[in-house]
């Protein structure tokens, strides 16, 4: 985790809170942040989710709200004030479609584990991912050719790396495909595979039982129930251990980053069935869940994280507690009268 660089509290708002502010609600949050009592940080997830909104008027309101609150952009664990939110949105909208295809091809493989991509086998998804990266390499080569001679001179030191990058990418894909094949070959019906459904059936735990778990040590309590099924190897003692020995050992090189750990635990909780996101089998539901997972990862950089989503808040709290991340998680709970109650930390579980 990066060290917080400001004395005032850093606050990260979920997209749903930002949407409320953009529509003129939650003025207290807006005023406190704008007045300098807190420093808003936002991420590329806010930009992409705003960009995918078809309502142009709302796009403008959301981006303007971030600008009015003097939002700092978080990238590679650092805060950036040098580029406006509007410019970041414009840059995203101008990106060639090939960049979205790369992200989509990666996400499809994860989606398969949650019952999505029905009718497709794993090899076809791996091949689609490989082709998306090949398209990206071609797009990069084309863009380099469009540069002027003076611009090419400025990046001449990169040319040797760019020349070997396609072959290196091909080699990495072949290595990754071999690892994935070793995992997937035991699946009898890959076209109809639903990993979440099969895993939950194997551990024989009703979601309501998991969702009644409360902190402290929520993640360990969840894992104890999962382990009690007898389907988890005895040498795996925790959720993080499961990821390290059962997932990262096959999928990652080196030590996973804190964002890797948060994302892995978030997906694992969805897989197990703890406060799971809705409609994970559907493309829209899965995209929303992946956005939520990334929001939780970026929010760990802040002192305060606020969301309207109860399921997201409880997963975030369990993950942060497990990893020793000291970010305060806050859930804005509707009171049924058009207002909201702000519940912080363990209070989310006591009064939900």
Sequence-distant (6+) residues with CB within 8 A of 199 are: 271, 272
Long-range contacts made by residues 208-216, C-beta under 8 angstroms, separation at least 24?
A: 210/272, 210/273, 210/274, 211/274, 211/275, 213/274, 214/346, 214/349, 214/350, 215/317, 215/318, 215/321, 215/345, 215/346, 215/349, 216/321, 216/346
| 344 three-state secondary structure | strand
Residue 351 has pLDDT above 70, yes or no: no
| Residue 39: strand pairing partners | 10
State mean pLDDT over 276-289.
92
Whole-number Å distance between alpha carbons of 245 and 314: 25
**CA gap 10, 286 in Å, rounded:** 28
Q: Which two tokens stand for residue 301?
A: 């950089």
| Residue with tokens 């024989």, as numbered in its chain | 204
Tokens for 66, please give them. 């971030």
pLDDT at 296: 98
DSSP lists the bridge partners of residue 334 as: 340
Choose the weakest-confidence range: 17-26, 157-166, 277-286. Answer: 157-166
171-220 pLDDT tens trace: 666 666 666 666 666 777 878 888 888 888 888 887 788 888 999 999 99
Q: Across-strand partners of 331?
A: 307, 343
DSSP-derived secondary structure for 82-141: SS-HHHHHHHHHHS-HHHHHHHHHHHHHHHHHTT-STT--HHHHHHHHHHHHHHHHHHHH
Confidence at residue 135, expressed as pLDDT on a 0 to 100 scale: 78
* pTM of the complete model: 0.85
Instruction: Pull the structure tokens for residue 317.
Output: 């709290």
pLDDT at position 184 = 66
Strand arrangement of the beta sheet that strand 340-344 belongs to: 78-80, 72-75, 39-42, 10-13, 304-307, 328-334, 340-344
CA distances 325 to 29, 38, 259, Å, are 23, 19, 12
pLDDT tens profile 33-56 = 999 999 999 999 999 999 999 899
Contacts with 191 (C-beta within 8 Å, 6 or more apart), sequence order: 118, 119, 120, 121
Burial (0-12, 13-18, 19+ Cβ within 10 Å), 85:
buried
**Token pair for 293:** 């997972």
Residue 2, pLDDT score? 43
What integer best gives the mean pLDDT of the chain?
84
Q: Give mean pLDDT, residues 307-319.
A: 96
Tens digits of residue pLDDT in 102-124 = 778 878 888 888 888 888 887 78
224 vs 91, 187, 221, 267, 273, CA distance in Å? Answer: 46, 26, 5, 18, 14
Q: Provide the greatest CA pair distance for the chain.
A: 65
10/181: higher pLDDT:
10
């Amino acid at each position: 985790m990066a060290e917080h660089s400001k004395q005032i509290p850093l606050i990260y708002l979920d997209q749903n809170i930002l949407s409320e502010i953009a529509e003129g609600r939650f003025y207290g949050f807006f005023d406190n942040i704008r007045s300098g009592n807190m420093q808003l940080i936002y991420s590329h997830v806010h930009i992409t989710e705003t960009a995918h909104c078809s309502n142009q008027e709302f796009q403008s309101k959301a981006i303007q709200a971030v600008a009015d609150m003097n939002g700092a952009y978080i990238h590679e664990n650092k805060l950036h004030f040098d580029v406006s939110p509007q410019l970041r949105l414009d840059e995203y909208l101008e990106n060639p479609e090939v960049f979205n295809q790369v992200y989509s091809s990666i996400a499809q493989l994860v989606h398969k584990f949650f019952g999505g991509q029905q009718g497709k086998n794993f090899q076809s998804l791996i091949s689609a991912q490989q082709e998306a990266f090949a398209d990206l390499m071609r797009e990069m080569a084309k863009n380099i050719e469009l540069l002027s001679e003076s611009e090419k001179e400025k990046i001449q030191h990169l040319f040797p790396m760019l020349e070997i990058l396609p072959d290196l990418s091909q080699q990495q894909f072949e290595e990754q495909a071999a690892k994935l094949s070793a995992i997937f070959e035991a699946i009898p019906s890959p076209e109809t595979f639903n990993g979440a459904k099969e895993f939950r059936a194997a551990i024989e735990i009703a979601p309501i039982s998991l969702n009644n778990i409360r902190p402290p040590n929520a993640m360990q309590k969840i894992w104890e129930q999962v382990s009690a099924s007898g389907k988890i190897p005895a040498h795996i003692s925790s959720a993080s251990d499961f990821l390290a020995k059962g997932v990262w050992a096959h999928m990652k090189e080196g030590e996973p980053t804190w964002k890797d750990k948060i994302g892995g635990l978030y997906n694992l909780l969805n897989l197990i069935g703890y406060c799971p996101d809705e409609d994970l089998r559907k493309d829209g539901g899965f995209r929303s869940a992946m956005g939520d997972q990334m929001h939780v990862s970026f929010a760990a950089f802040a002192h305060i994280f606020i969301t309207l989503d109860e399921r997201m808040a409880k997963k975030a709290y369990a993950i942060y507690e497990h990893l020793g991340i000291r970010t305060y998680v806050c859930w804005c709970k509707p009171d049924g009268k058009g207002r909201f109650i702000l519940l912080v930390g363990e209070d989310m579980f006591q009064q939900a």
